[in-house]
A = this chain, B = another copy of it.
Amino acid sequence: MITVEDALTQILKEIRPLGLESVTLANSLCRTLGEDIRAARPNPPWDNSAMDGYALRAGDATGAAKDSAVTLDVIYDLPAGSTPKGPVNKGQAVRIMTGAPVPPGADAVVMVELTASLTEGKVDIRGSVRPGDNIRKAGEDFKAGDIVLKKGAYVRPAEIAMLATVGVSYLFVHKRPRVAVLSTGDELVEIGQTPAPGKISNSNGHALAALVAESGAVPVQLGIARDTKESLKEKLSIARSCDCIISSGGVSVGDYDFVKDVLKELGSQMIFWKVSMKPGKPLAFGVIGGVPAFGLPGNPISSMVAFEQFVRPSLLKMSGRGPICRAELNATLTKDVKIKPGRTNFLRGLLTLNDGGASVAPLEGQGSGVISTMVAANCYIIVGMDSTGYAKGAVVKVQPFDPSVFLKVRA
């Protein structure tokens, strides 16, 4: 059996980033930059005031204090958005608002709270001022010509702030993968229908579509393929118009011959593996007419675990983000864990970040059909292939899959 690591390496070799498309600034959130972004102008564009106050020559107010104020002539007002009307000479000041350009001659701004304006046209400076005080220097953020964002950057609100600052209205980003999601099996009925005896709801199709969406890709739901060559062939023919195909079910020993036949008829080949992991052992991966295709196991938890380990990194690579996996964190086990060695185990756990670090509780009910445990979980506890488990208090690797780990409810 191939290891999780080797399976992922082989899969990622087949995955290429998708091409680019142009989107508006607002639509670039959570996308990946397809181009370097260069600044045409510096930021700040000019030396500007960090405070509401008075621009002056620092030398005029050396030693000024509450009980020994220095009085200067206020020559004009400089609201934000306007430009200086002239230089500040010795003994003069300009009333300036935050962000306004520092007028020529001035080399400092004193904040309004340290001044008093008792006489029309005059201001008392009541605090000492040093050159450079409360001035933001032109270009302290970036200079004209700087690359401010690099191709491949993931666009968060901070990147939106940067794009807006340099005045980008439209930009190239990597296309989002369109992912065909297909469930196979005569036992499945669509949700909304009451399952007849022996039948169950098609939960995998919906859960996998949600995982696709959560990965920033676009699910294309193809519904249920029946256990006939015709049905599977029809669905796969449609699926080939997408950037990636995910099916669930149809990869256990008894099903495989039949799937293999259909793939041969479609002129494609599937690499079929058993991956040394639990849950998620039976995994098919191949390329159908140029489109990477994942045959995930039919058990709900098995398909979700296999998605996380193999499909998600592939979709992120297609999206231009690179071969990106979930990080692994250290956490202290709150309970013993016993495992049959031989495969990498992914146990559903509940990770808690606390003052002393991170702790993780392995959850009861690790069967590959037990969805309530998945609902209770926020991470996988990874138990290595040769391990028989760990004792309470041991430090283990966890793979958090739920950003809510970073949230806390306020008392």
Contacts and interface: CB of A to CB of B under 8 A. Distances in A.
Given A99-B187, A330-B355, A353-B327, A140 B370 contact: yes
B324 A375 contact: no
Interface stretch (A61-69, A164-172, A381-389): A164-172
A100 interface: yes
A141 B365 contact: yes
A335 interface: no
B210 A157 contact: yes
B313 A329 contact: no
A320 to B, nearest CB: 13
A239 to B, nearest CB: 18
Contacts of A304: 157-158, 161
A191 interface: yes
Nearest to A299: B98
Contact of A101 (B136, B198, B353, B408): B198
Interface stretch (A86-94, A148-156, A230-238, A288-296): A148-156
A337 interface: no
A83 interface: yes
A73 interface: no
14 contacts: A45-B195, A50-B368, A50-B369, A52-B254, A80-B186, A81-B186, A136-B369, A148-B372, A156-B214, A158-B207, A158-B371, A160-B209, A161-B300, A327-B353
Contacts of A136: 367, 369
Interface of A: 8, 12, 25-26, 29-30, 41, 43-45, 50, 52, 79-83, 97-101, 112-113, 136, 140-142, 148-149, 153-154, 156-169, 185-188, 191-195, 197-211, 213-214, 219, 221, 227, 252-255, 298-300, 304, 313, 322-330, 353, 355-357, 365, 367-372, 374-375, 377, 400-410
Q: Identify the 10 closest CB pairs spanning chains A and B, nearest first.
A: A81-B187, A81-B186, A161-B207, A164-B203, A157-B210, A164-B206, A80-B187, A160-B210, A158-B374, A403-B403
A202 to B, nearest CB: 7
Contacts of A167: 191-195, 201
Given A82-B198, A158-B374, A164-B207, 14 more contacts: A45-B195, A50-B369, A97-B254, A98-B252, A112-B254, A141-B369, A148-B375, A157-B214, A165-B300, A167-B192, A168-B191, A324-B410, A401-B406, A403-B406
A194 B168 CA distance: 11
A356 B330 CA distance: 8
Nearest to A207: B161
B206 A160 contact: yes
A198 B83 CA distance: 5
